[in-house]
Chains A and B, each alone.
Chain A
């Protein structure tokens, strides 16, 4: 499992103060820049006007059901693990109009929603974010009828990834094979050192962007330091799933008493699914205009914990918390393999941190699968 961090040949050194030059280049190419900022006590992706908006000197402390920021007082911009949401909201919108219909005409007049065509450059995507994006790409774009809105946003996305040099207590991407080093799916990958970034390109447009900045080679010493820091972030992870493919073990244990036990703790609020970067469930809803003459048909994020998710004309296929949590976990870590060729978990740990009561997917999987907690 030893994999080279996502730093490729011809790596260059991007001094920290020149990150703004990279942003300027991206803007000149028509991209809006998006990056992590401190907002409402958490590090979240938001539009960036300038480079000093990055969470400079901030650390995150994540545990089961808790998240806190701490100021370290240094110049590091990316010395935190991840925030409450990854790239998902920027590609699979939380709410989106699908079409509108005018009901005044004798015949209903349908108008599909226009697909926005905006260029977005995200700076600071992590390996787990990119692994999740690959799964969502397959879901939304891989079928016979690719989703137009997702496709348009995906097309317009420029990814500046950051290899993790910091793991939170809830991270376990090393155990799912999705990090902490990025592998692909980025245009540029950065690894942060004390005085700047080792930068590598992953695409032609990424290479062009770096070339434009006229940067010097990173050099062996910096490259080695970058690799070491990323490897240390992997080694620092304390959680792990009990295996890569738990499909057989989970479905052999559908009647395990642990499901009842976790149902006693689970709030069924759906936060785990809603922060999960691979969960794709959404519902379709209708909003009628005030005067009742037209309607907007939209989709919005939903989860398998919600009331209507599995109801068939009023009958609930999953009427209780036990069956809903079991559905979520057995799909995510189990039947996902048959459906998408891999697990639905990328080890980002968000479902652990953002569960209000701190339910830990790694503990539950281990308990149900009968494995000793690794």
Chain B
């Protein structure tokens, strides 16, 4: 999956071909592409929370988190929102079409630190995608982790994706799924209001809990505040940050965030690493 000579050379920039073997339309603007790398390569293992650079011919690359199970197969699922040049073009592709792929990149979620603990996953909007791999990882090793709480918020009810997955996760032992929409509708049986409202329903022992946050920064700032107030230590809170990532190698500087490159040092950070600038406009 990496360039031919990833440790020494310009090759580490170079994608390889991958074929679209499946496509699911998750909502009006969100779709999932299932990719199979064309070149037989060693099993593309990744850590939940890492991302690939997906390339559309003639247009460019974008970073997309990997949704599929880290160790289950050689197919890579990427859930994508149609929001910019590359994603608009990717949205037009169908099974059989080819894209470029390189990765995996970045630092993922701290699965080793989470082992043996309760895990709270708080996500907003498409922030749920980078945590799907975490959830699958835990479910496949259910006995190694404590209670799993999945908390997802969306702006409008119809924007919720992965509805089937949430229903399925609800049935997993010792797992809670809490959903919120700022604006509900008739098809929304769950909470109407902010995702952080649901924190009142989360009973957890802060000393043996690890929180993983992914979503709009405003939402993460509020969530962090609530978790800290509940007694969760700063170092038990992890956030996946989003910035403009063009090279994914920590070279191009577009994802500069204080002293960090989000693509290389993140995208997942422990709260103490980012707290100085989190929520500061302009960084």
- In contact, A112 and B10 (Cβ under 8 angstroms): yes
Assembled-state Cα–Cα distance A108/B17 (Å): 6
Tell me whether chain A's interface is mostly helix, strand or loop, or mixed: mixed
Residue of A nearest to B96 (CB): A106
Chain A residues with Cβ under 8 A from B59's Cβ?
286
Given contacts A108-B57, A254-B280, A313-B87, contact A338 B259 (CB under 8 A): yes
Assembled-state Cα–Cα distance A145/B249 (Å): 7
Whether, in the assembled complex, A323 has its beta carbon less than 8 Å from a beta carbon of chain B, the answer is: yes
Assembled-state Cα–Cα distance A336/B256 (Å): 11
Chain B residues with Cβ under 8 A from A267's Cβ?
none
Assembled-state Cα–Cα distance A111/B192 (Å): 51
Q: Which of A145, A149, A326, A335 contacts B6 (CB 8 A)?
A: A145
Chain B residues with Cβ under 8 A from A108's Cβ?
17, 55, 57, 98-100
- In contact, B254 and A309 (Cβ under 8 angstroms): yes
- Distance to closest chain B CB from A290 (angstroms): 12
Tell me whether chain B's interface is mostly helix, strand or loop, or mixed: loop
Whether, in the assembled complex, B11 has its beta carbon less than 8 Å from a beta carbon of chain A, the answer is: yes
Whether, in the assembled complex, A314 has its beta carbon less than 8 Å from a beta carbon of chain B, the answer is: yes
Chain B residues with Cβ under 8 A from A288's Cβ?
58
- Distance to closest chain A CB from B157 (angstroms): 23
Q: Which of A112, A309, A335 contacts B259 (CB 8 A)?
A: A335
Whether, in the assembled complex, A216 has its beta carbon less than 8 Å from a beta carbon of chain B, the answer is: no
Chain A residues with Cβ under 8 A from B17's Cβ?
107-110
User: How many of A's residues come within 8 Å of B, CB to CB?
Assistant: 58
Whether, in the assembled complex, A67 has its beta carbon less than 8 Å from a beta carbon of chain B, the answer is: no
- In contact, B252 and A299 (Cβ under 8 angstroms): yes
A:320-338 near B, CB below 8 Å: 322-323, 326-327, 331, 335-338
User: How many of B's residues come within 8 Å of A, CB to CB?
Assistant: 51
Q: Which of B5, B57, B264 contacts A295 (CB 8 A)?
A: B57
Whether, in the assembled complex, A101 has its beta carbon less than 8 Å from a beta carbon of chain B, the answer is: yes
B:219-264 near A, CB below 8 Å: 242-244, 246-247, 249-254, 256, 258-260, 264
Whether, in the assembled complex, A10 has its beta carbon less than 8 Å from a beta carbon of chain B, the answer is: no
- In contact, A308 and B244 (Cβ under 8 angstroms): yes
- Distance to closest chain B CB from A123 (angstroms): 28
- In contact, A143 and B242 (Cβ under 8 angstroms): no
Q: Which of B60, B253, B259 contacts A282 (CB 8 A)?
A: B253
Given contacts A107-B98, A110-B17, A254-B280, contact A309 B10 (CB under 8 A): no
Chain A residues with Cβ under 8 A from B283's Cβ?
317, 327
B:94-148 near A, CB below 8 Å: 98-100
Whether, in the assembled complex, A21 has its beta carbon less than 8 Å from a beta carbon of chain B, the answer is: no
List the 3 shortest-distance A-B pairs measured between CB atoms, nearest first.
A148-B9, A338-B259, A323-B282
Residues of chain B at the chain A interface (Cβ within 8 Å): 3-17, 19, 38, 55, 57-61, 81, 83-84, 87, 98-100, 242-244, 246-247, 249-254, 256, 258-260, 264, 276, 280-283
Further contacts, 7 of them, CB under 8 A, given A99-B15, A285-B60, A338-B258: A108-B57, A110-B14, A147-B10, A251-B276, A284-B60, A313-B87, A317-B244
Pick 8 A–B contacts, CB within 8 A, sort by A. Answer: A98-B10, A107-B17, A143-B250, A143-B251, A145-B249, A145-B250, A148-B12, A280-B253
